[in-house]
Amino acid sequence: MLKLVVITLGIVAFSVLFLCVKMILRPGSSFGSTHIGGSKAMRQRGIHCVQSMDAFERREKPTRVKER
């Protein structure tokens, strides 16, 4: 059982190290943006982040119909 835990921790540690190679070897580098708005292809298609779209829709619009 202990052997399995050590092997599992070793695999996880190797995976994390492998994923962070770019960040470790290049000072000042970081992971790219994972938000929809950070993707050039999505911006070209007019697809935005849900939070941005919600804020855009909640803005006060002069042509909006008053409900009350």
Same domain, 38 and 55: yes
- HSE (side-chain half, CA atoms, 13 Å) at 54: 3
CB proximity list for 43: less than 8 A, separation 6 or greater: 37
| Residue 40 in domain | yes
Distance CA 36, CA 52 (A): 10
Distance CA 54, CA 33 (A): 20
| Residue 3 in domain | yes
At 39 the pLDDT is 81
At 45 the pLDDT is 87
> Which residues of the chain register pLDDT less than 70?
31, 68
At 20 the pLDDT is 81
**Based on the structure, what is the number of domains in the chain?**
2
| Residue 68 in domain | no
Same domain, 24 and 11: yes
Domain with 50, as residue range(s), is: 31-61
At 3 the pLDDT is 95
Residue 27, token pair as written in the block = 């000072």
